[in-house]
Amino acid sequence: MANEQSNSANPNVDLKYRRKKNAEEMKQQVITFVMMIFFTVISFVAVAMEDFSHWFIKPVILLLAVIQVIFQLYYFMHMKHKGHGTIALFLFSGLAVGLITVLTFLTIVWL
Amino acid sequence: MSTYANKKGFGATIWDYLTTVDHKKIAILYLISGGLFFVIGGLEAMFIRIQLAIPNNDFVSAGFYNEILTMHGTTMIFLAAMPLVFAVMNAVVPLQIGARDVAFPFLNSLGFWLFFFGGVFLNLSWFLGGAPDAGWTSYASLSLHSAGHGVDFYVLGLQISGFGTLMAGINFLVTIINMRAPGMTYMRMPLFTWSTFVVSALILFAFPPLTVGLVLMMFDRMFGANFFDVAAGGNTIIWEHLFWIFGHPEVYILILPAFGIFSEIFATFSRKRLFGYSSMVFATVLIGFLGFMVWAHHMFTTGLGPIANAIFAVATMAIAVPTGIKIFNWIFTMWGGSVKFTVPMLYAVAFIPTFTMGGVTGIMLASAPADYQYHDSYFVVAHFHYVIVGGVVLGLLAGINFYWPKMFGTILNEKLGQITFWTFLIGFHLTFFIQHFLGLMGMPRRVFTFMDNQGLNTGNMISTVGAFLMAFGVLVMVINIIITSVKNEKVGNDPWGDGRTLEWAIPSPPPFYNFKQLPLVRGLDAYWVEKMEGKKEMTPAEPLGDIHMPNSSFLPVTIAFGLFVAAFGALYHMDDKSWTLPIIILGLLITFGSMLIRSIKDDHGYHIHKEDLMDDTDKGGKA
């Protein structure tokens, strides 16, 4: 049943397990947060250095941006948790539809 | 509870419907307004056929013909087929999944009123200087040069009713994901619910491109932007892509619910489980998925290049595979079944060959090289009327006949229903079959007249005769509805006697809370499962308890009405009239003011108490 509520909001259930779980999650969030800042710094530095060609910097920044979005969705917006299958399905279907549109515009509309 | 049993006056009934958030009443609102627009669109179709009955006719002028033609397409797709589909969805889906209402009842009502005011706005163009005249596709190269305000009515009206459709789609997604009764897994959902689910996902992804396209068009026409104006550096092809990225999924948004309705009807009246249920689900999802990859087959002749044409041609032909799966499953459902030819079943049986013919011409049109010959001819007109009338309209007529008892508690007359069926079906084939050949003989689409001695006279005359037969069928149906409503002979829970799904386990029409106790679903075709074990009703999944219900609200009407008012201001703004800005502001104030009231006013709904739900039959101590 999809609308079944788990009782995990009850703070007295599995206190020890929940503490451990929370600590773990906190650790992951801090790590991803640091990495995201680090990625941002890399992007700024890469542009500021002026030593690399545009053809190198642009894809790298885009790649770092994609990784940041994934971090954001999975670690901060809890998409890695259970019960987010439907959300993931719709998110990726929407992404697919959007990307096909972009691809079309890049290949057969504007060229 | 007792207040609901009282007889209400006419005014109170109107107020009840204006403020209702009950999915069953919203379904009736969709049915009435969709039916009304269907009649308007039908009248426009009759004018088209009268004009084309004989060569060089002057029944209407060329300009007026363009308006009729545009409004026929736009009205039939957006204002007749869509709301009628939503009428059936609203009436049936919550009952089929064992829910007491949709997830967001207020939003459901708002969706309806946005659609309604959008539709009224669009049709007011007839009285305010001329309707849109650039075709229902409203290609930018044509619509940007359309004089008058017709196309502005199109842009703003569709924008408003599009909001409503998007809301309805999201509402059904949330409802089906979250509000299924205990035991109702995804793979136990009736096929109509499945098709509603897929269709809602299509709405979610397909309507934003339309919204974007309409916004760009609005800026081009009303505020001097140049997105589509080639002379000013724009690109007119962008509109075509945006429109068809929406437009192709849109036709699946219409046909998939019809497939769902037919699946229910075939299983019910063959008195057999639907053949290949899981492959039907798979095919429905696959059609929805492929529906987003084929839009450019509407644009083969715009010069996309051979590679793009080939890709879209192959993708289009691939859709024949899941559709074929469905056709064969329906045939196999009837095979060996104990078939009962009621009116809905007649529609269902007639649908198979009719829709297959539309599908076959679809494959012909999908071959890009051949399409250069068919393009913009009556062959295309014949094709899409075969799939839309032969699929969607037959599906809706079948669904309305099938679910009429559940919606109104009365059953439509079989004899009159058969007259409607035969006249409509024969009229339909007379009208459109010949148009294939008119197209192949070279008669172009969207022309207001044709010349004598070109071999087109007989075909067009036959087509017009057929259109009158269809109109006669619809007229008989209206008479049938009036007679049935006046007689008002109530029927029981399961008037067809062979109901398989949850909606047939509860009274017709259902009480406003639907299920006193949520039912326990123990398999596909939940009610049938219980029947086969000799039970008369569903096993409850919960003890009798208080039921939480939403309060009625007038705010959806005012929110939608505000946008309707603002749209008039926006429309005339480009004429440099002084009153337009105040009107825009006034309209938006009404809309956002209503939204503010909705936000700050606490409205927790109310409870129907357990004691009020208990009647004599419950006192024995059942669950």
Q: Please give the domain boundaries of chain B with CATH numbers for all domains.
A: 22-531 (1.20.210.10), 554-623 (no CATH)
Residue B618 has pLDDT above 60, yes or no: no
Among candidates B521, B136, B485, which has minimal Cα distance to B298? Answer: B136
Number of domains comprising chain A:
2
Give pLDDT, residue B264. Answer: 96
What is the least distance, in Å, from the CA of A97 to any CA of chain B? 7
Q: pLDDT grade, residue A111 (50/70/90)?
A: low
Q: pLDDT grade, residue A81 (50/70/90)?
A: confident
Residues B104, B106, B108, B114, Cα dihedral to 10°? -140
Both A65 and A18 in one domain: the answer is yes
Section A60-69 average pLDDT = 91
Give pLDDT, residue A1. Answer: 42
Which residue among B179, B180, B308 places its CB closest to the CB of A108?
B308
Which residue among B173, B182, B296 places its CB closest to the CB of A1?
B182
Of A21 and B48, more confident? B48
What's the CA gap between B618 and B471, in Å, rounded?
Answer: 49
Cβ–Cβ below 8 Å for A97 and B238? no
With contact defined as beta carbons under 8 Å apart, do B99 and B35 qualify? no
Residue A25 domain-assigned (yes or no): yes
With contact defined as beta carbons under 8 Å apart, do B385 and B42 qualify? no
With contact defined as beta carbons under 8 Å apart, do B508 and B515 qualify? no
Per the DSSP assignment, residues forming a β-bridge with B519 are B540
Cβ–Cβ below 8 Å for B238 and A86? no
Give pLDDT, residue A19. Answer: 86
Report the share of chain B in percent with pLDDT over 70: 98
What's the CA gap between B582 and B559, in Å, rounded?
Answer: 17
Residue A106 domain-assigned (yes or no): yes
Instruction: Let me know the angle formed at the C-alpha of B511 by B506 and B516, rounded to the nearest 5 degrees.
Output: 65
Both A102 and A67 in one domain: the answer is no
Among candidates B129, B31, B133, which has minimal Cα distance to B73? Answer: B133
Q: A6 to each of A2, A3, A24, A82, B532, how far by Cα in Å?
A: 11, 9, 21, 12, 34
Section B199-228 average pLDDT = 94
The Cβ of residue B561 has, within 10 Å, a number of other Cβ atoms equal to: 18
Give pLDDT, residue B25. Answer: 96
Cβ–Cβ below 8 Å for B177 and A1? no
Both A75 and A89 in one domain: the answer is no
Minimum mean pLDDT range among A5-19, A97-111, B305-319, B450-464: A5-19
Residue B82 has pLDDT above 50, yes or no: yes
With contact defined as beta carbons under 8 Å apart, do B307 and B256 qualify? no
Per the DSSP assignment, residues forming a β-bridge with B606 are B549
Per the DSSP assignment, residues forming a β-bridge with A55 are none
Residue A2 domain-assigned (yes or no): no
With contact defined as beta carbons under 8 Å apart, do B469 and B430 qualify? yes
Q: Compare all CA atoms of chain A with the CA of B187 and give the residue at the minimum distance.
A: A1
Residue A3 has pLDDT above 70, yes or no: no
Both A22 and A66 in one domain: the answer is yes
What's the CA gap between A37 and A42, in Å, rounded?
Answer: 9
pLDDT (tens digit, 9 = 90+) per residue, B116-171? 999 999 999 999 988 999 999 999 999 999 988 999 999 999 999 999 999 999 99
The answer to whether the Cα torsion of B375, B381, B382, B388 is positive or negative is: positive
Both A53 and A31 in one domain: the answer is yes
With contact defined as beta carbons under 8 Å apart, do B69 and B140 qualify? no
Cβ–Cβ below 8 Å for A100 and B292? yes
Q: Which amino acid is at B136?
A: W
Residue B49 has pLDDT above 70, yes or no: yes
Residue A50 domain-assigned (yes or no): yes
Both A18 and A72 in one domain: the answer is yes
pLDDT (tens digit, 9 = 90+) per residue, B340-360? 999 999 999 999 999 999 999
Residues of A in contact with B526 (CB under 8 A): none
Judging by beta carbons within 10 Å of its beta carbon (0-12, 13-18, 19+), is residue B144 exposed, middle or buried?
Answer: buried
What's the CA gap between B227 and B296, in Å, rounded?
Answer: 20
Residue A5 domain-assigned (yes or no): no
Structure tokens at B157: 């009206």
Q: Specify whether the backbone of B319 is left (phi greater than 0), alpha (psi in -120 to 50) or beta.
A: alpha
B224 at A interface, C-beta within 8 A: no
Section B462-484 average pLDDT = 97
What is the least distance, in Å, from the CA of B178 to any CA of chain A? 5
Chain B stretch 170-209, residues whose beta carbon is closer than 8 A to a beta carbon of chain A? 173, 177-180, 182-184, 201, 204-205, 209
B305 Cβ neighbours under 8 A, 6+ residues apart: A108
Q: Compare all CA atoms of chain A with the CA of B242 and give the residue at the minimum distance.
A: A101
Q: Which helix (H) or strand (E) holds B548?
A: strand B547-549
- Size (chain A), residues: 111
Chain B stretch 144-173, residues whose beta carbon is closer than 8 A to a beta carbon of chain A? 173
Both A104 and A62 in one domain: the answer is no
Q: Compare all CA atoms of chain B with the CA of A110 and give the residue at the minimum distance.
A: B235
Both A108 and A58 in one domain: the answer is no
Both A39 and A60 in one domain: the answer is yes
Both A22 and A71 in one domain: the answer is yes
Report the share of chain B in percent with pLDDT over 90: 91
Both A75 and A95 in one domain: the answer is no
B237 at A interface, C-beta within 8 A: yes
Residue A1 domain-assigned (yes or no): no
What's the CA gap between B429 and B321, in Å, rounded?
Answer: 25
pLDDT (tens digit, 9 = 90+) per residue, B279-335? 999 999 999 999 999 999 999 999 888 999 999 999 999 999 999 999 999 999 999
Average pLDDT score, chain B: 93
Both A86 and A37 in one domain: the answer is no
Residue A90 domain-assigned (yes or no): yes
Domain containing A104 equals 82-111
Minimum mean pLDDT range among A7-11, A86-90, B536-540, B542-546: A7-11
Structure tokens at B99: 């829910």
Cβ–Cβ below 8 Å for A94 and B205? yes
Among candidates B206, B195, B165, which has minimal Cα distance to B93? Answer: B195
Give pLDDT, residue A75. Answer: 86
Residue A97 domain-assigned (yes or no): yes
B297 at A interface, C-beta within 8 A: no
The Cβ of residue B88 has, within 10 Å, a number of other Cβ atoms equal to: 27
Give pLDDT, residue B622. Answer: 46
SS3 assignment, position B229: coil
